[in-house]
Amino acid sequence: MATATGINWYLLVLTGSCVSIVSVMGEANMMSLSFNQSSPSGPVCPGDRLVFTCVTVVEGENGVAVWRRNNQQQDPAILAYGVAIPSLDDFTLNITSYDNTTNVHVLVSTATNPSVPVELNTTTIGCSADAMNYHTLTINIAGQPTTQITNVTVAPITNDTLLITWNPPSDQCIDHYTVTINSNNTHNESRTTDNPNITINDLIIGTNYSFIIIPIDTIGREGPPSSLIQYIWNVPAQVVNISWDQISTDTITIWWNNTEVFPPIQYYIISVYNTSNSIIYTNNTTNTNITITGLPLTDTNYTVTIISVNIIGYGPSTTVNVSVTVTPTVTTSSITNVPSSVTLTTDISTSTSVTVILSTSITVTVSSTIHEQSSSSFISATSTSTGTTSMSVPVSSSTVSTTAAGSNAVPIISGAIGTVDTGNQETKNRADTAVTPTYDEVIVKPTTTTGVPIYDTPMELQANTAYDVINKDIINVHNNDAYGQIM
């Protein structure tokens, strides 16, 4: 054993779990020592392989290493090259290298526990180069896990599989995790995983699952369990709180809410049916609202269905009836540069119809040429009746035409001789009233040779379909005080 004589100086250096004497100097010898926990490099977990390494350097003498436990002064374990290696309680000693090629002898030795028990927590171990000056380290073994698992997420993968992930706790000695699976409030099974995630498969649709995650350390001690994770493995429920609003004649917007979070809804299917139960619109959206445009104006009542879809499948549909208001479109036409009156003439015997369309207050002058036959000759006279009323008069002409708006257009005169007065001017085309036959004396005689029969009375004239509606209109004009009487 090397002995230092004279005055010695000691420099103690602490570096983490390493304790070193850089130099010990005397008049004749020099010694140095390093001592550290070489494995593990971090916290010691129960069951870890724990290794301490001691390096002694002695000048001019054979190197030795003296080990002891818990500061025991008696019966230390002395290691020297070429000498039997003693034991040290629950540690195994060993000389890993010895170098005496120079005047400085270097001895490297270790103390190893292959699976450190938790009982060694707070005990000490020391090493010395001279059995007088020891350098000691305290064994610190991690305790039971104390940190709860957080940030648990559940993500469906297929229609019968999901993935659960979480953040590992801050405890350093977590060996694995136990995941307890309950289905419909009944314990089903427990699974273990070395990683902070687990895949759960063979899930059954319509089952209420719950999961608890427990961290386990290296010797089986449990940490605090996670919060209960509940998950209903099912298709989505119906949407609720549906409301809608008509934006324009052919556009509506619909809003709704869903009632559950897991499994998450992937999208919604929106369909619109008409009164014939035919689909006229369908679309998908990931939002809880949609604007539907292009509704056909042929219907004003629609049925809208909303179906939620998740990874498992399609949920039940929700239906809402929508009734929209259609605003009619009014087109206005005008006639420009129209004279104050238009005279339309036709031969009553040819059955040619004339149609006038005007939406205004008009003055109608109807002139009819009456033929009366005496015993020896024909007597011809013209009778004119004028009146003003608010009506729409259909007219067809090669020079004057217009378009009726709305539903005010009605047929008024067909196949007659008349004047349409568009202003407040005096009645035009009054016929010479020198000959004024009575109404019952009217005898109509055709002016062509088309074979139209002669009628003796106006009632018979009215029944003749060859003259279209003129016959009835003449009678109506005759009976309307606004137009006077046809004489």
User: For 265-303, what is each residue's pLDDT tens digit?
Assistant: 999 999 999 999 999 999 999 999 999 999 988 888 999
pLDDT digits (tens, 9 = 90+) for 300-326: 899 999 999 999 999 999 999 999 887
* Helix (H/G/I), strand (E/B), else coil: 51: strand
Domains observed in the chain: 9-138 (2.60.40), 150-233 (2.60.40.10), 240-323 (2.60.40.10), 341-483 (no CATH)
For 197-215, what is the mean pLDDT? 94
**In the predicted structure, residue 416 carries a pLDDT above the cut 80:** no
| 460, containing H or E segment | helix 458-462
If phi over 0 gives left and psi between -120 and 50 gives alpha, with beta otherwise, what is residue 82? left
Q: What share of the chain is helix, strand, coil (3-state, %, to 5)?
A: 5, 45, 45
C-beta of residue 30 within 8 angstroms of C-beta of residue 23: yes
Instruction: State mean pLDDT over 250-269.
Output: 90
Cβ atoms 335, 356 nearer than 8 A: no
pLDDT score, position 77: 93
Token couple for 219: 């010797």
- Nearest by Cα to 380 from 368, 372, 388, 392: 372
Give the residue, 269 or 262, on which the prediction is more confident.
269
> How big is the chain by its Cα radius of gyration, in Å?
58
Nearest 5°: the CA angle 383, 481, 364 is 55
| Confidence category of residue 332, pLDDT binned at 50, 70, 90 | low
SS (H, E, C) 192-211: EECCCEEEECCCCCCEEEEE
Tell me the mean pLDDT in the region 400-407.
36
Contact 235, 314 (CB under 8 A): yes
468: confidence class by pLDDT, cuts 50, 70, 90: very low
Biggest CA-to-CA distance, the chain: 183
* Separation of alpha carbons 241 and 267, rounded Å: 17
Strand 64-69 vs strand 77-80: parallel, antiparallel, or unpaired? antiparallel
Which residue has better confidence, 161 or 390? 161
Instruction: Work out the mean pLDDT of the chain and round it to a whole number.
Output: 73
Q: Which of 62-71, 230-239, 329-338 has the lowest mean pLDDT?
A: 329-338
Q: What is the pLDDT of residues 10-40, one digit of tens each?
A: 333 334 444 333 444 343 356 778 999 998 9
